[in-house]
Structure 1
Amino acid sequence: MTGGRVPAAGAGPEPLDRMAVSALTWLDGMRPCFRLPPDVTTDADPNTTLKPLGELAELSHLIRTHHPLPAVRDLADGLFRFAWRETGDGELFGDLIRGEPRATYPVELYGVFAQTGLSHPGVEELVRTMTGLRGWRVAREDHTRTLGVLNAERRIGLRHHADFDAVLAMTGLGRAVEPWTLDRKAAYGVTHDVFHLTDWGRAPHRMPADRAEYLRLWIPSWLESWLEEELWDLVGELLAVAACLPAPVPDAAAWRLLAGAQGADGAVPEIGAAPPPGTAAAEAFTACYHSTLVTAFAATLARIGPTRPAGPTAGVRRPVLESEAAS
C-alpha cells in the first residue's frame, strides 16, 4: 500500500477534507485529459470521452453544492463549469441526439446539467420529442441503467417513461440479492441502484427502510472483501453508499485504508498501487480518474452525513443563476 495520507483519527472531518481537496486538485490538473476530441459525435468511443466528462460533472456538482468548505466547493465549481463549457454550453447534446435518436446516454448526461438549471433551448425540444417516441418506452434489460434514465427524466422535468418502483424491484438492490453472491459487476450494480434511487445522496429519504437495513448489515462485509482486493474504486463507491443511507454507516478503518491508497499528488488508483512516477498523463488518468472522483464524492457525503439536504425538493431543477449563465 502506497501513499502516506493515512489519517490517525479515522474518518473525522479534517482527514476527509484533506482527501477531498487533494483529489480535486489532482483532477483539476487533469483537465486536458477530460477534454472532448473533435470526433466526439462521430467516431470517438463515448466510454472514454463522454463518460469521464459526465462523471466529472455529476460528482463535482454535488461537491460544489454540498461540501461545507468554500475551498472545496470552489475547486468542484471550477470543474463543473469546465465540463459544461466542453459541451459547447449544451449544444453537443443536440448533435448526439440527432446522431443516435434512441441512445439514452445523451439524455442522462444532459440531465446532470439540467438539474442545475443549465439548459439549451434546442436540446430541450429534441429531448422532449425523442423521449416521447414509442421506441423510448421499450423495456431495457439493464434495470440499473433504466433507473439512471428515469432519474435523468426527473431532473429534466419529463414524465417517467416507466414506473420507478417497478424498475427498482428488478435490480440487485430491489431484489436484495444474496449478499455472498455479489461479484464485482453485481456490486457496482448495487452501488448505482443506490445512487440513482437517492439522486447521488441528495435524497436519502427515498431509500426503503428494508433496503437500508439490508445495506447496513452487509456493507461492512463487502468493504472487507474489496479492501482485501485493493479495489479502491469500489471501496470508494461502497463508502459513498454507506453515507447515502438515511442513517449513515461510518467505517473509520475502511477510510484509513482508502486514505493510505491516495498518493501524495491526490490520485487514487482504481486497483492496487498507484502508477509509478514518470507514467504518462493519459495512462495515469485512465488508471486513476474515476476512483479519485469517487473518493472526493464519498468524502463529501461522509463529511456532511445526516446534515445534507433531504426531502421532496432535493435535486429539483432550479433557474439558472446569472453568474452561471455568464460563465
Structure 2
Amino acid sequence: MTGGRGAPELLDRMVEGSLEWLDGARPFFHLPANATTDADPNLTLKPLGELAELMHVIASLHPRTDLREQADRLFAFAWEETYDGELFAELIRGEPYATYPVEIYGVFARTGLRNTAVEELLSTTTRLRAWRVAREDHTRTLGVLNAERRIGYPQHADFSTVLGHTALGGLPEPWALDRKAVYGLTHDVFHLTDWGRAPGRLPAELADYLRLWLPSWLENWLEEQLWDLAGELLAVTACLPKAPYDPLAWQRLAAAQAADGSVPETGAAPCPDDPAEAFTACYHSTLVTAFAGTLARIAPEPSPEGAGAAATALRTPCESEAIP
C-alpha cells in the first residue's frame, strides 16, 4: 500500500462511469406519490438522500470541472424531488419523532437550501423529550447529531460521548468484526468527518487503528466480492492522514465495474438486465464507487512531517477540525 493520489486516470474513469449510470437511473430515484404516507422510506427516501449526500461531496471536491458539474446537476435533481423542501415538512408533521427527515434535510441545509416551514417545525420537534431519548444505534445517532449541526440547531447529545459507544469508538478486536459492524464503522468515520469533507476531525488514535487494520478488512471483503463494502473501506482509507492508496484494491474494484458504469453490490455477475432490478442491486455500490474515487483522487501526497495538517489545508479550508 502506498500513499498519495494513486492513478488519476483510473479513478476519474470510475467516477465518470458511475455518474453516467446514476444519471441514467434518475427515473428510479423519483419519489412515488405516497412517499410521505405509506411508502417504505428505505426504498424511496433513503436512495434519494444518499444520492444528494454523495453528489454534493463530488460536486464540491472533485478536481475535474465536468464531473463536478454533472454531480451538481444530480444534486439539484434530488432537491427538486423534495419540492424545494416541502416534502420534509409533510414528513415531520406525520412523524415528529422520526430522525430520517432531519438527516436528509440536513444534507441540503448545509448547502443553503432551506425551507421555512421545515425550520419552524424542527425548532419544536428537536426540543421534544422523545427526541432526546438515547437510541440503540449509536452510529445513527452520530448521523442525527451531524444533521443538527448542519441545520444549526443545538445537538441533543454530546458527539464525543456517542462516538465512544460506536464500533469505531470502542476500538474493537479487528478479527471479531462482522459485515454489519464494518458497515457501522465506515459510517462512524463518515459522520465524524462530514463524509470526507473534514478528515482532520478524525482523532489520531482512531486514525492509527484504522490505518493498521484497514488493509486486512479490505482484502477480506474484496475476496468476498462485496464491492459495496470494499468501496466504503476505500473511502475511509482516503480520509486517513497520509491517505494510503492500494492500487491493487482499486484495480479489483474497477474490474467489477461494468461498461455502463454500474457496480454490483456483490458477486461476479453484472447488474441485472431489468432496469428496476439493476437499480435496486447496484445503485448504492455505484454511488459509493463515485464517492470513494473522488476522495482518493484528492488525497494529498504524504510527507514525512505534518501529513495530517497538509490534508486539512488541501481538503477543508473552511471546516472546523474539532469534533462537532
Q: Does 1:286 align with 2:271?
A: no
Q: Does 1:299 align with 2:293?
A: yes
Identity %: 69
What does residue 207 of structure 2 align with? 212
Residue identity in the other structure for 2:50: E
Residues 67 and 303 in structure 1, CA contact (< 8 A), matched pair in contact too: yes
Moved over 4 A (4+): none
The alignment's C-alpha RMSD in Å is 1.4
What does residue 18 of structure 2 align with? 23
Q: TM-score, normalised by structure 2?
A: 0.92
What does residue 57 of structure 1 align with? 52
How far does residue 157 in structure 1 lie from its aligned partner after superposition? 0.6
Q: 144, 162, 176: which is aligned to 1:181? A: 176
Q: Which moved more, 1:242-251 or 1:210-219?
A: 242-251
Query: Which residues of structure 2 form unaligned runs of 5+?
Result: 301-310
- Measure the CA separation in 1 of the matches of 2:219 and 2:319: 35
Residue identity in the other structure for 2:70: L
Residue identity in the other structure for 1:203: A
- Measure the CA separation in 1 of the matches of 2:28 and 2:71: 17
What does residue 310 of structure 1 align with? 316
Residue identity in the other structure for 1:249: P
- Measure the CA separation in 1 of the matches of 2:109 and 2:240: 25
- Measure the CA separation in 2 of the matches of 1:145 and 1:30: 27
- Measure the CA separation in 1 of the matches of 2:218 and 2:290: 18
Q: How many residues align?
A: 305
Residues 262 and 271 in structure 2, CA contact (< 8 A), matched pair in contact too: no
Residue identity in the other structure for 2:113: L
Residue identity in the other structure for 1:302: A
- Measure the CA separation in 2 of the matches of 1:110 and 1:247: 33
- Measure the CA separation in 2 of the matches of 1:186 and 1:155: 26
Residues 263 and 274 in structure 1, CA contact (< 8 A), matched pair in contact too: no
| Deviation string, structure 1 residues 71-130 (Cα, Å, up to 9, x no partner) | 110110110000000000100000000010100000000000000000001111111111
- Measure the CA separation in 2 of the matches of 1:43 and 1:149: 23
CA change 1:129–1:170 in 2 (3 A) is same
What does residue 254 of structure 2 align with? 259
Residues 19 and 259 in structure 1, CA contact (< 8 A), matched pair in contact too: yes
Q: 112, 132, 137: which is aligned to 1:137? A: 132
- Measure the CA separation in 1 of the matches of 2:76 and 2:268: 31
How far does residue 310 in structure 1 lie from its aligned partner after superposition? 2.2
Q: Which moved more, 1:10-19 or 1:260-269?
A: 10-19
Query: Which residues of structure 1 form unaligned runs of 5+?
Result: 1-9, 316-327
Q: TM-score, normalised by structure 1?
A: 0.91
Task: Show the 5 A alignment for 1:127-276.
Answer: 127-275=122-270
How far does residue 314 in structure 1 lie from its aligned partner after superposition? 5.6
- Measure the CA separation in 1 of the matches of 2:190 and 2:317: 16
Residues 270 and 287 in structure 1, CA contact (< 8 A), matched pair in contact too: yes
